[in-house]
Structure 1
Amino acid sequence: MSDIALLFVAGLIGGLLNAIAGGGTFITFPALVLTGIPPIVANATSTVASFPGYLAASYGFRRDIAAMQDVRLVRVTLWTMAGGTIGAGLLMISTSQAFSALVPFLLLIATVVFIWAEPMRNLAARYARVVTPFGLGTLLPVTIYGGYFNGGLGIILLALFAMWGMRDLHQMNGLKSWLSVALSLIACAVFTAGGSIAWGPAAVMGLGTVLGGLIGPPVARRTSRRILRMLIICVGFITTAIFFWHLIQGV
């Protein structure tokens, strides 16, 4: 019962964070590992469990998505699914030892990216359209990373959208949620084929992410993010330190 409660609450918080600012993986992935699930399976399960939350958040941002102009939605969705397929495939051929060794570094990168999210978006906005808007060359590497390890993906996508020239944060959050749906869906198919999903924990956590995804959009429109950002950063560094400690202990 304690594991069920932990997974549901982690899904709720993770879904809420993903809808508002990103960073939900800092909650969902460690919670799954804490319940005894191996890291590769935990990573795949976290991605699958986040899918209904992304879908709920997309529904919450549906008007913002519908109001977007000049966004080649079908094309970027297909490219996102292509990148997600490659990233998820890379995860499936990774050994448990190699992935476990990479996890602390991936979490550290995701935490640093989250810390520098605002400067990244501001810098990207300054140099907007230096890269091709909605271009494969910038989107594909990001989605490959997202298929392999979902941590910090939302933050990177927001910075990328700013570089493409987008300005409306609610529309950017809507597009981020929609592309996360596409990526999670294709990754789910790959992980299912590879037998790398713990379906029971995924279902419990998925219920939490749905609730968090529905709550997220209204909260995103009304809340100050400063305290939330500090909380996510603290969780990110604590989680990273724990996984580095386990890595050092295992050497």
Structure 2
Amino acid sequence: MNNLLLVAGAGLLAGGMNALAGGGSFVTLPALIAAGVPSVQANASSTVALYPGGLASAWAYRDGLGPVGPVPLRALLVTTVVGGIGGALLLLLTPARTFDFIVPWLLLVATFALAFGKRFGEWMRERWQIGQTAVLVVQFALGVYGGYFGGAVGIMMMAVWGLLDSRELKLLNAPRTLLVSAANTMAVVAFVVAQVVHWPETAAMLVGAIVGGYGGAQVGRRAPARVIRYGTLALTACITVAFFVRAYGSGR
């Protein structure tokens, strides 16, 4: 019961983070590991638990769906789905010990994306433009990353799309939420079929995430954006450091 309360609370916090600034998996993954779920299964269970919230966001943004620059949304969707399948299968084939050593680096990449993704995208947009083929290649890679781990993948997508589409970034939220959900859809299917989801913990976390997502949206209307951003970054940085200590601190 204590473990279920732990993961439900983590889901509550993660749902609020995703509604405010992203980074919910930074909370759900360590909570599931702390509850005794092996790391690979914890990552799979975290993806399943946060999936309904992503679908809800995609539905809410449905009126804004459309192409990204000259790239049709369908092409991006197919590319992301194929990448998501590859990433999910890659995770299932990764030994737990290997994943334990990889995950701190994935968290570090996601932390930098949260901290600098928007600014980096703006910097690149002032200097380069890329073509459709390059965008689809990168989108496939991001689909793989999304199916395998997925932390801050939406921010990474927007940074790349900014090199192709001159619209204000917030107008790309609709395709972002759809394509992140597309990558996660294939991951969820693969994880359920492979029976790697720990359902009691996942169900408790899912309920918490739904409540947290609603509450986070309400808080987001009132709390200063800077406070939310810095609080999120501080939490994600601390969790990343903790995972590095966990993986490498014992001198293995």
Superposed CA offset, 1:91-140 (max 9, x none): 11111111011111111121122111221221243246423289321201
Structure 1 SS opposite 2:185: helix
> Which segment is superposed worse, 111-120 or 213-222?
213-222
Are residues 1:161 and 2:168 paired? no
Structure 1 SS opposite 2:37: coil
Query: Given residue 54 of structure 2, which amino acid in structure 1 is its aligned partner?
Result: Y
> What pairs up with 1:4-83 in 2 under 5 angstroms?
4-65=4-65, 72-83=72-83
Query: Given residue 184 of structure 2, which amino acid in structure 1 is its aligned partner?
Result: S
State percent identity of aligned pairs: 32
> Which segment is superposed worse, 156-165 or 70-79?
70-79
Other-structure match for 2:117: 117
Structure 2 SS opposite 1:26: helix
Unaligned runs of 5+ in 2: none
Other-structure match for 2:126: 126
Are residues 1:178 and 2:168 paired? no
Other-structure match for 1:207: 207
Q: Residue 231 and residue 151 in structure 1: after superposition, are their counterparts in 2 closer, same or farther (change >3 A)?
A: same
For the residues of structure 2 that align with 1:11 and 1:19, how far apart are their CA atoms? 12
For the residues of structure 1 that align with 2:176 and 2:56, how far apart are their CA atoms? 13
> When the two structures are superposed, what TM-score results if normalisation uses the length of structure 1?
0.88
Shift of 1:24: 1.3
Query: Given residue 113 of structure 2, which amino acid in structure 1 is its aligned partner?
Result: V
On the 8 A contact 1:128/1:165 being kept in 2, the answer is no
Structure 2 SS opposite 1:163: coil
Unaligned runs of 5+ in 1: none
**RMSD between aligned alpha carbons?**
2.6
For the residues of structure 1 that align with 2:217 and 2:134, how far apart are their CA atoms? 24
Superposed CA offset, 1:25-78 (max 9, x none): 111111111211111001111111111010111223233337989662222122
Other-structure match for 1:239: 239
Query: Given residue 210 of structure 1, which amino acid in structure 2 is its aligned partner?
Result: I
Q: Residue 59 and residue 42 in structure 1: after superposition, are their counterparts in 2 closer, same or farther (change >3 A)?
A: same
For the residues of structure 2 that align with 1:4 and 1:155, how far apart are their CA atoms? 30
Query: Given residue 136 of structure 1, which amino acid in structure 2 is its aligned partner?
Result: L
For the residues of structure 2 that align with 1:69 and 1:216, how far apart are their CA atoms? 31
> Which segment is superposed worse, 154-163 or 100-109?
154-163
Structure 2 SS opposite 1:123: helix
Other-structure match for 2:149: 149
- The size of the alignment, in residue pairs, is 251
For the residues of structure 2 that align with 1:12 and 1:72, how far apart are their CA atoms? 36
For the residues of structure 1 that align with 2:135 and 2:211, how far apart are their CA atoms? 33
Are residues 1:230 and 2:223 paired? no
Shift of 1:214: 4.5
Query: Given residue 250 of structure 2, which amino acid in structure 1 is its aligned partner?
Result: Q
For the residues of structure 2 that align with 1:134 and 1:63, how far apart are their CA atoms? 27
For the residues of structure 1 that align with 2:210 and 2:67, how far apart are their CA atoms? 24
